[in-house]
Chains A and B, each alone.
Chain A
């Protein structure tokens, strides 16, 4: 199992219908790539988020993942189901699954096309709140990043103070993103094509994406990542063989 990047978001082109939305937490906040502006339901009844791509030009696009970030679906104990409209009826794509935690995660499935999709949240213990839903494509590597394989390097910025007498008075930490820079080698031409699609259609615009460095898409190391403005660069040293020597991405993100 190799690293996975889930990117793109067809939601931004879709017409959304939701069962309910709390005042100040409209459904449009699910579409904007911002995990800090939220959609929130009004209660704990079953909630359906319907994504209608009809007329958007993306009806026939392949969709291979659904992801959540800025959510409370674990706390709300939600049963999550993904369905697609097959032209006749709603068809289950991902049967009920639970959020592993309240951090970023995504689920992949065999890429499929549909004009309408819907997410059903049921068995809710609290009103669900979601910052962003991703519905798009997956870039999958054959391998994990090169050694030293680092799931994410976090350097805590902190101040520690001691008194005149030498006592530790306190520690204050600051916010820090996780450094996620990774290099993969070798890379097949198939992988290269997937990475280039990811880069050309998404990453080069600085848009955020889901990144699972160890390939575990609902594990503890899934990040809502982006490529920093000063690192918007894709290095693709190419050998004479069919393999590209390596691909490097400089990323930062948070869970």
Chain B
């Protein structure tokens, strides 16, 4: 006997099983490594733990079934369920209605405590009621997994089918009852911030960093305050005296050709202060070296000379000098060459006084000195990114709780704000680029959703995908993760919802393969059918904004997109037809030229808009009908065909094989109410 055979039989008795997974310690009280030794024994939960450092967290499932049900085949289930109310998933273009589950349980006093208490036999007395004790011992129930299975009273629990998996939101206790309210896993993304907070905070105040200062004059004009920083990217011009172009016939550079010479002045910290480059210097046969001289630069302790051009062996090598002249091309050069590229001008300055206009108050700092202490860096990688307030920062090294070699305000974020000690650090997730279905899975993983709750359809679609890569800006403005997720879902022209097996589903809207036919004879319960013409679902123009370039703005901020594509159904907007303009506007944070071959993203957008037009240029009627329990195999997200004389088309004949998408499925005792949405292909 199986779930399927019971479902197909003409009469049967339904049974529900609810499973709740709460934390439990895997150790035994007082047995190593548990060091507890005095007082009453714990209840193997964290709050009752007598040796928290050794608490070994695992999951423990508690099973329940309907009050009055014969649970002999499910002996682990307590028959406490008195009522289940289920707000089902409804698929919409932009997301899902929150699926909520409420289960009411009976509570009862216990003479024994065998289900919850591992040490019941050691207690002097047993008292209290089941639920009161369960909640008291597990105050951290919120967010723990609850599952609802349905089956028949002739089946073992292994033959039951999962109908809901979600997270516990709240528990209410009454006199002799307990009610648990749960939300689905997608809804739980609403509670997760994007970027996601790390369990790390700044341990000191972080001052402002003025980035990309391009001259000393600009630096001195900064609105800086004491301890603020400036990051200069300019390099002063090193004055050549005379020009770096004199040739000298006495050297060993035998390769006639055109050369370039760069002399860079460096300070004691090896940072470039000034430079001079002369290109197009001709070396004729017989002119075997260059004689160079330049004017000393204030603050410079050394000079480095690069030669590029026909003498390729000199590329990315330099000669270092203390003085201000050199004859390049002598036999001594070959022994004094050091590897190294011409340095970028990167200089950090910290304002040590209060007056930023006084150059003496700006103290030159090395990159390693740009650092910050956090309260606990143990979980951080040796290098990487984090976000604090609206700023994204890269750290190149980590030492204990100090992050060093900081690059402030990277990835288009703003570094000109002070971050107070104690400010929360956020992980910058990188669902950055790649296959859209991989990006979606990354987002779900970021939301703490285990892979077991993610439908295999994601990987199937990922493997089959031949379209563009998604590109997402590293995000700096805080959002709900759900908003990001559903933006990606729509960008790839899909729908996503929590399926009845508790898994998060994904379906391409272009996939209209029918799962079966519902008809008057075999399926539709008498008198149950009705329809809503759903006029508001019709559009006459479709607008897609894409190529987002500014991550600091809201997703729907037009200013942060560089491209907009519009498709208009002129016929529909004409006076003879609807005579109105109804637009479907969408801001895609994922569709971009970045990472794609030129023109591909544009073609993708054109195809996407065409598909939207095909689907929504006519109102998609909503049909509701009821079927018997035997048809519960049809699930939300399935496409079905409908054959009924109760709905008629232009010619007055009944519908025959008309395609609909099941967007809602509500169990109502022995019947199931389905809400269907018309599909146009």
| A interface residue numbers (CB < 8 A to B) | 12, 24-26, 28-29, 31-33, 36-38, 40, 70, 72, 102, 129, 158-177, 254
Given known contacts A28-B120, A31-B111, A72-B72, A169 and B13 CB-to-CB distance under 8 angstroms = no
Chain A proximity of B216: nearest CB distance (Å): 77
> Do the beta carbons of A161 and B10 come within 8 Å of each other?
no
Beyond known contacts A164-B521, A171-B11: 9 more, CB 8 A cutoff? A26-B114, A129-B75, A163-B521, A164-B525, A165-B520, A170-B10, A170-B11, A172-B13, A175-B68
B66 partner residues in chain A, CB cutoff 8 A:
175
How far apart are the CA atoms of A158 and B669 in the complex, in Å? 9
**CB atoms of B114 and A168 under 8 A apart:** no
In the complex where A169-B628, A170-B630, A172-B629 touch, is A163 in contact with B522 (Cβ < 8 A)?
yes
B520 near A164: Cβ-Cβ < 8 Å: yes
**Distance to closest chain A CB from B627 (angstroms):** 8
Give the distance to chain A from B82, nearest Cβ to Cβ, in Å.
Answer: 11
CA–CA, A186 and B613, complex, Å: 84
Q: Check B112 against A28 for contact (C-beta < 8 Å).
A: yes
Collect the chain B residues with CB atoms within 8 Å of residue A171's CB.
10-12, 670
Cβ of B68 and Cβ of A172 under 8 Å apart?
A: no
In the complex, chain B residues 80-118 whose Cβ is within 8 Å of any chain A Cβ: 110-112, 114-115
Q: Which 9 A-B pairs have the closest CB atoms?
A: A172-B670, A159-B670, A175-B68, A171-B11, A169-B628, A164-B520, A170-B628, A28-B112, A32-B111
Across the interface, do A163 and B13 meet the contact criterion of CB distance under 8 Å?
no
Judge whether B279 is part of the interface by a CB distance below 8 angstroms: no
The residue that A165 contacts in the complex, of B69, B71, B76, B521, with Cβ under 8 A, is B521
Please list 30 pairs of residues, one from A and one from B, whose beta carbons are closer than 8 Å in the complex, sorted by A's number: A24-B76, A26-B121, A28-B112, A32-B110, A32-B112, A37-B75, A38-B75, A70-B72, A102-B72, A158-B11, A159-B670, A160-B670, A161-B525, A161-B526, A163-B522, A163-B526, A164-B520, A164-B525, A164-B644, A169-B627, A169-B630, A170-B11, A170-B628, A170-B670, A171-B11, A172-B12, A172-B13, A173-B13, A175-B67, A177-B68
- The distance in angstroms between the C-alpha atoms of A161 and B629, with both chains bound, is 9
Contact mask for chain B residues 1-19; partner A; CB cutoff 8 A; 1 contact, 0 none: 0000000001111100000
Among A102, A162, A172, which residue has its beta carbon within 8 angstroms of that of B525?
Answer: A162
Find residues 636-678 in chain B having any chain A CB closer than 8 Å to their own CB.
644-646, 669-671
Q: A40-B75, A170-B11, A175-B69 are in contact. Are A29 and B523 (CB under 8 A)?
A: no
Among residues of A, the one whose C-beta sits closest to the C-beta of B7 is A170
Which chain B residue has the least Cβ–Cβ distance from A24? Answer: B76
Evaluate contact between B13 and A174: CB separation under 8 angstroms: yes
* Distance (whole angstroms) from the CB of B519 to the closest CB of chain A: 8
For the complex, what is the distance from the CA of A172 to the CA of B150, rounded to whole Å? 13
Provided the pairs A163-B520, A163-B524 are in contact, do residues A29 and B114 lie with their beta carbons within 8 angstroms?
Answer: yes
Contacts of B523 in A (CB 8 A): 163, 169
| Residue of A whose beta carbon sits closest to that of B523 | A163
Cα distance, A160 to B669, chains bound together (Å): 10
Segment 267-281 of B: residues with Cβ below 8 Å from A: none
B78 CB within 8 Å of chain A: yes
Give, as a whole number of angstroms, the nearest-CB distance from A168 to chain B.
7
B522 touches A161 (CB 8 A): no
Q: CB-CB < 8 A to A175: which residues of B? A: 13, 66-69
Is B409 engaged at the interface, CB distance under 8 Å to the other chain? no
Q: Is the CB of B525 within 8 A of A37?
A: no
Whether B151 is near chain A, meaning CB under 8 Å from some CB there, is: no
Known: A163-B523, A171-B10. A29 touches B670 (CB 8 A): no
Asked if A174 contacts B522 (CB within 8 A), the reply is: no
- For B525, list chain A residues within 8 Å (CB): 161-164, 169
Cα A165 to Cα B644 in complex, Å, equals: 10
A31:B112 contact, CB within 8 angstroms: yes
Contact of B522 among A33, A160, A167 (CB under 8 A): A167
B79 within 8 A of partner (CB): yes
Contact of B11 among A28, A32, A172 (CB under 8 A): A172
**Is the CB–CB distance between B671 and A159 below 8 Å?**
yes
Q: Residue among B14, B78, B526, B644 with the most chain A CB within 10 A?
A: B526
The answer on a CB contact under 8 Å between A28 and B72 is no
Contact status B628-A12, CB under 8 Å: no
Q: Does A161 contact B671, Cβ atoms closer than 8 Å?
A: yes
**Shortest Cβ distance from A164 into B: residue:** B520
Chain A residues contacting B110 (CB-CB under 8 Å) are 32
Q: Are B524 and A33 in contact (CB under 8 A)?
A: no
Whole-angstrom distance from the CB of B210 to the nearest CB of chain A? 66
B581-631 at interface with A (beta carbon < 8 Å): 626-630
